[in-house]
Amino acid sequence: MQQSNGYIITFSIILTVVLGLLLSGTSQVLGPIQKKAEDLDNKKQILGAVMAPEELKALKPEEVLAYYESRIASKVVDIEGKEVEQDTEGNPIVAETVNVGKNYKKAPADRLYPVFIYHEEGNEDAAISYILPVYGAGLWDEIWGYVALQTDLNTIEGVTFSHKGETPGLGARITENGVQARYQGKKIFDDNGELQAVIMQKGEGKDYDGEEHKVDGLSGATITANGVNDMLKNYIGHYKPYLEKRKSGSSTGVAVLN
Amino acid sequence: MSTETAQVEEVKKPTEALLSKRRKKLVSDPLVDDNPITIQVLGICSALAVTTQMQPTLVMAISVIFVIVMANLTISLLRNTIPSRVRIIVQLAVVATLVTLVNEVLKAFAYDMYKELSVFVGLIITNCIVMGRLEAFALGNKPYDAILDGFGSALGYSWIILAVAFFRELLGSGSVFGVQVYDGISGLFGGEFSLATNGLMVSPVGAFIILGLIIWVQRTKTGYVEH
């Protein structure tokens, strides 16, 4: 049966409207739940830098949020290490909502740099470690993570890395606990206070126990490893002014964006 | 009166059993004899991409079952109203909507799975099995039959990708559903003994090999020859 053009057009319009309504309705209903899931995932990643993976896994979603609430304080700093509390329109900035990936597209000087402070329960001044987000490019797509520094602002307490599309079994291994554990106890500054970061070496299977700025590499994933190296060096570099201010004990001050 | 004759005919026609022989065949045929992956060789891309581990594969299988059954049902219900000149785009719109729904639900209730699978779930749209069933069956059959047909094809797809995932996870990561099997076996024999995982199985090449072996075994047993 050959339908008329009018019928086809009417049918298409009705179908489009019905499907469109269905989709936008679902998105409306599920939107808040999705936001919560994203938020939880984000906080889990932050906590992952300072907590053992098994410990974190054992927590229920509400427990993760409660733990985060009681143990993590956050602030946002700019490239000079000054605290930023409001955006140009005077709205308060919350570190958890700062999208590091989006900020990465801006010039380093214009980016916002969130800092998450892991502290003793109920006492925000008794910091245990400082968790800094890092972001960069792997072989295929973006890679990101969090680096937790001890109170000397030099020794790495722990790291967590994530990636979007690295090769499974090769570059994707940066998410493995065993690989991330290699960073523990390494140092990011040398004795002269210069930023050395931690460099993943080429090849795998060597012991870099005594070397403060080197970790064992990923066999077959040199480009991803280089991406991780660049990410750490660049991003921690942007935090250097903040870390130095923090170390010298001077107040970080409040920056005014204009 | 045309309406009257139609009614008379309906009474004469004996109603078909809910699970008659023909209907059972709709579900069972695609499982082995006319399997979408091993016989029709459709939907290979996703069979290769998601099967490194059992858990995401299971989620993928459930998603595909949902999408095929619902798409078959929708198209079958609309089969007399869909203008034949735009039927492909109508099918595509329905499938795309269902896939987006699955993706949104995963994002809300299984965020970890969403992170891992969202790319592949999106690709269900291009899974030839879905469009194939809509075009070949749902457009010309009643809703209930269309549901059975879609369910059969989706099950045929699901058990193959689950089988591939089982071998890939076991041999590639030494685990099943995330439970370490190799470590347990090694533990039985003491510290010196350990099983090595095969990195090849983690890469898509491993899926090709396993899939090839499954097809080989199946065709040897059924005697199926490509014409």
Residue A32 lies in a domain: no
- The reported pLDDT for the residue numbered B1 is 41
Confidence of residue B6 (pLDDT cuts 50, 70, 90): very low
Residue A14 lies in a domain: no
* Residue-wise pLDDT tens digits, B65-116: 999 999 999 999 988 888 888 888 999 999 999 999 998 998 888 888 887 7
Residue A20 lies in a domain: no
Q: Is B112 on the interface with A (CB under 8 A)?
A: yes
Instruction: Tell if the pTM clears 0.80, that is, is over it.
Output: no
Residue A167 contacts residue A140 (beta carbons within 8 Å): yes
Give the closest of A8, A26, A38 to B104, CB-based. Answer: A26
Residue A190 lies in a domain: yes
Residue A77 lies in a domain: yes
Residue A11 lies in a domain: no
- The reported pLDDT for the residue numbered A256 is 47
- The reported pLDDT for the residue numbered A249 is 67
Name the domain count of chain A. Answer: 1
Identify the contact set of chain A against chain B, taking CB-CB distances under 8 A: 1-3, 7-8, 11-12, 15-16, 19, 22-23, 26-27, 30, 33-34, 37-38, 40-41, 168-169
Residue ranges in chain A modelled with pLDDT below 70: 1-2, 168-169, 249-258
Residue A17 lies in a domain: no
Q: How far is A29 from chain B (nearest CA, A)?
A: 10
Q: Is the pLDDT of residue B11 over 60?
A: no
In this complex, do B107 and A41 lie within 8 Å of one another by their Cβ atoms?
no
Mean pLDDT over B170-197 rounds to 75
- The reported pLDDT for the residue numbered A254 is 52
- The reported pLDDT for the residue numbered B2 is 44
The CA-based angle A31-A36-A42, given to 5 degrees, is 125
- The reported pLDDT for the residue numbered A168 is 67
Residue A128 lies in a domain: yes
Q: Is B196 on the interface with A (CB under 8 A)?
A: no
Task: Quote the domain boundaries for residue A244.
Answer: 46-255
Q: How far apart, in whole angstroms, are the C-alpha atoms of residue B173 and residue B182? A: 8
The pair of structure tokens assigned to B206 is: 């491993």
Confidence of residue B3 (pLDDT cuts 50, 70, 90): very low
Mean pLDDT across chain B: 82
Please give the residue of chain A at the shortest CA–CA distance from B105.
A30
CB under 8 Å, gap of 24 or more: what pairs does B167-170 form?
B167/B201, B167/B210, B168/B51, B168/B52, B168/B53, B168/B201, B168/B202, B168/B206, B168/B207, B168/B210, B169/B52, B169/B53, B169/B54
Residue given tokens 């024999």 in the structure block:
B189
- The reported pLDDT for the residue numbered A227 is 92
Side chain identity, residue B122: G
Calculate the alpha carbon distances from B168 to B62, B157, B198 in Å: 19, 17, 9
* Residue-wise pLDDT tens digits, B154-167: 998 899 889 999 99
Residue A11 contacts residue B79 (beta carbons within 8 Å): no
Please give the residue of chain B at the shortest CA–CA distance from A39.
B111
Which residues make beta-bridge pairs with A77? A83, A113
